[in-house]
Structure 1
Amino acid sequence: MEQQRNRAVVVGAGIGGLTAALALRARGWDVTVLERAASLAPVGAGIGLAPNALRALDVVGLGDRVRSLAAWQGDGGMRRPDGRWLVRTSARAAIERFGGPLVGLHRATLVDLLADALPEGVVRTGAPAALADPGDARRPARVTTPDGEIEAELVVAADGIHSAVRPALFPGHPGPRYSGFTTWRAVVPTPDGPFAPHETWGPGRLWGSQPLADGRVYAYAMAAAPAGEHAAGGEKALLQRLFGDWHHPVPAILAACDESTVLRHDVHQLIDPLPAFHLGRTALLGDAAHAMQPTLGQGGNQAIEDAVVLAHHAGPGRPVPAALAAYTAERLPRTTAVVRRAARTGRLSMLSARPAVVLRDTAMTAVSLFGPGLILRGFDGIADWRPPVGDSPARVS
């Protein structure tokens, strides 16, 4: 009987994969997480969690814990490189509109919370996995590992933007494409002198500074660049050339950066949506399913949403192929819309021609005169999402 076949294998122990493991265990699944890396020591910097992701974390019992450890984003906004405010945002207005705060914390903190909530032995590190058979209504899925083959009634591929499972499921899909932009991220001690959380847009590049609760600052930057390029003199030196004359606290943050801790990654996106997020008994989740630009800060948030929606549909007694079809039906339209909205925001933020930059900045300043509510409308349908109840799916237009 279907309800007796409750073994799930999650490929990838990132934020989405670990959340999926927790959510599936809560629904009665026996879960194994296979992680290629030798440890869960996270590679990354900070992450912003919007109310939609925090409500999803409430489903697995970690929402309040995250809220207690994270820095709640205060009043801030968007600026020009010279420091002039283009848009001011209100933390209170965001909470009233979306039902909760935007918070920031180090990715390591979130990964540790998720991993610690799982029983010992659920996560196997140093365990690369390949999909041997996605399964169907009559046979289980199969994955191969260095220790042998594992059969499972459900396989969840949370193996990232360069997923090995995705092309195995959809070999004709073009896969992720380079957006034309690269990003840098770092976490540094808080510099002297007060500053408000901000994102600053210049010609063809942007910078963001977000305080963390532990006394450090999560800094990120994005700029147009050829794919695969790296700075011959080091990434810190390049960042100082690009952003060193911008407003406080940007120069101080750059001065505090250590070259070894600056992370650079080209931005790839699945701008062409997949035909589905599943095949047979195998589902895709997070960046493996819908990699997006970071311009809305929703990549990890959408992976967390995926995890709880997948577990919601894969409840006791429901045939797995039918559950995954419902998962695709709920998640594919929403995430496709978010991917496209992030791409539009990316194009706007990376404008480089002076007339276009002046027009953009003037328009943003004019819109801000109507108050923070008008600016926050850009996150309507995203940050106000709530986990599904019964058979009512959530949508974004």
Structure 2
Amino acid sequence: MTDIRVLIAGAGIGGLAAALALHAHGIESIVVDRARELAPLGVGINLQPRAVAALDRLGLADEVARHAVAPRAIEFHDARGHLLFREARGVDGGYRWPQLSVHRGWLQALLLAAVRDRLGSDAVRTGHGLTGFEESSDGVLAHTADGTLAADLLVGADGIHSVVRAQLHPEGDPLLWSGMRMFRGATRTAPFLDGETMVVIAGGGVDVVAYPIGDGLVNWVVQVDEGTSGALRGDANWNAAAPPDTVVGHLGHLRVDWLDVEALVRGADAVFEYPMVDRDPLPWWSDPGGHGRITLLGDAAHPMYPAGANGGTQALVDAVVLAEEVRSDARHGLRTYESRRRTETADVVAASRQMLRDAADPARIAVATATYRRVTHADGS
């Protein structure tokens, strides 16, 4: 191992992937997280072809593929279930890598096990929520709930409520609500259509997204347009519980004979509520007036709407690029990482916003998906 030491705040998908990518280049890292126990939370996640390419770099793509579903297409339907538009996905869409749909909690558990196996049992330290940091020419002092840790570099992969981002950008960085409220769950049920297709059913200000994620589970999202976009008032908690009856109350206009959405909602072990939010792109991730020892990754750097299913994908790409650049130049690696990723992810944030607007218009669905695919480099290149 080299003598550089990277401290990663956040043991989510991006932070754990960054630890694995750095380790593959012989760079020591430690991951800290505020949680006392890292439980496999969440529901489904879509990994675009570029994310699968990143997982292949980490030696995990085959394992994920064995547990996931590779959707062959995405279909857009109206409220009566009539097909409006169909687009091939993954290998069927001509990409080098498949798209994979899997349970987010299972994926995080896989990454966690790989980090502990390759880096050691002490590589992930729970109950060490970051509270602040100090940067100098000699390194970084990271203050956590369980003491202070010294490192050469600090990577803020601590999610949408990032402590690192808040200290770097303390003013004028609110969560921005799209006006869309999301209800989410995963339900064990029989396959619908061909069992390998993602669907979006739209109409009446309510969109339903459903896709299989393996092990007999179907991930579903009900998106309700409340029409009040702007700075978010209140909290954005991925794991806030919601009553199924609230969700079912939004489904009365649906007349789809090949998918019982109400049964999906009522059959879930848990239903979660979340306001669809993002943040405006930042002008920098590593303070240009600082020492180049701190940066951001994943949702801490570029929270985006899940409209195009790209949040997890971009975090995995971040992780691989970060490790490449730190390996190439230990002193300036974080700045070159930022130069490669900041503008690109800002484009994805903008494309996600545009796709959410365009997908509401049946006449623009094909244009919206084509533009989004181009901006996000979905082919894994």
Structure 2 partner of 1:155: 154
Task: For residues 84-128 of structure 1, give each alpha carbon's deviation from its aligned partner in whole angstroms, at most 9, with x where no partner exists.
Answer: 1111223477441x2222110001111111111113111111111
Structure 2: distance between partners of 1:148 and 1:278? 24
Q: 1:257 to 1:169 in 2, by over 3 A?
A: same
Structure 1: distance between partners of 2:9 and 2:24? 18
Secondary structure at the aligned position of 2:337 is classed as: helix
Structure 2 partner of 1:315: 327
* Corresponding position: 1:342 with 2:352: yes
Residue type at the aligned position of 1:334: E
* Deviation for aligned residue 1:174: 2.0
Q: Report % sequence identity.
A: 31
* Corresponding position: 1:265 with 2:274: yes
TM-score for both structures, normalised by structure 1 = 0.84
Residue type at the aligned position of 2:286: H
Structure 2 partner of 1:254: 265
Q: Retained in 2: the 8 A contact 1:13–1:35? A: yes
Count of paired positions? 359
Q: 1:269 to 1:348 in 2, by over 3 A?
A: same
Q: Retained in 2: the 8 A contact 1:156–1:285? A: yes
Structure 2: distance between partners of 1:202 and 1:361? 10
Q: Retained in 1: the 8 A contact 2:134–2:142? A: yes
Match of 1:15 among 13, 16, 24: 13
* Deviation for aligned residue 1:145: 2.0
Residue type at the aligned position of 1:336: A
* Corresponding position: 1:67 with 2:65: yes
Q: Retained in 1: the 8 A contact 2:72–2:91? A: no
Structure 1: distance between partners of 2:242 and 2:34? 29
Residue type at the aligned position of 1:380: R
My pick for the range that moved more, 26-35 or 305-314, is 26-35
Task: For residues 342-383 of structure 1, give each alpha carbon's deviation from its aligned partner in whole angstroms, at most 9, with x where no partner exists.
Answer: 01112234x5xxxxxxxx22454xx59xxxxx9545402424
Structure 2: distance between partners of 1:132 and 1:150? 9
Structure 2 partner of 1:109: 106
Structure 2: distance between partners of 1:19 and 1:88? 32
Unaligned runs of 5+ in 2: none
Task: For residues 311-357 of structure 1, give each alpha carbon's deviation from its aligned partner in whole angstroms, at most 9, with x where no partner exists.
Answer: 110006x233x1111111100110000000101112234x5xxxxxx
Structure 2: distance between partners of 1:171 and 1:377? 33
Match of 1:242 among 250, 270, 273: 250
* Deviation for aligned residue 1:43: 2.4
Q: Aligned runs of 1:45-60 on 2, under 5 Å?
A: 45-60=43-58
Q: Retained in 1: the 8 A contact 2:355–2:372? A: no
* Deviation for aligned residue 1:166: 0.5
Residue type at the aligned position of 2:265: L
Q: Aligned runs of 1:302-381 on 2, under 5 Å?
A: 302-315=314-327, 318-320=329-331, 322-349=332-359, 351=360, 360-364=361-365, 376=370, 378-381=372-375
Once superposed, what is the RMSD of the aligned Cα atoms?
A: 2.5
Secondary structure at the aligned position of 2:250 is classed as: helix
Q: 1:92 to 1:307 in 2, by over 3 A?
A: closer
Q: 1:289 to 1:385 in 2, by over 3 A?
A: farther
Unaligned runs of 5+ in 1: 352-359, 369-373, 388-397
* Corresponding position: 1:198 with 2:208: no
Q: Retained in 2: the 8 A contact 1:313–1:323? A: yes
Structure 1 partner of 2:165: 166
Residue type at the aligned position of 2:78: R
Task: For residues 176-195 of structure 1, give each alpha carbon's deviation from its aligned partner in whole angstroms, at most 9, with x where no partner exists.
Answer: 32222221110111147646
Structure 2 partner of 1:29: 27
Q: Retained in 2: the 8 A contact 1:94–1:100? A: no
Secondary structure at the aligned position of 1:52 is classed as: helix
Structure 2: distance between partners of 1:40 and 1:310? 24
Q: Retained in 2: the 8 A contact 1:269–1:293? A: yes
Q: Aligned runs of 1:101-140 on 2, under 5 Å?
A: 101-118=98-115, 119-135=120-136, 138-140=137-139
Residue type at the aligned position of 2:349: V
Q: 1:26 to 1:40 in 2, by over 3 A?
A: same
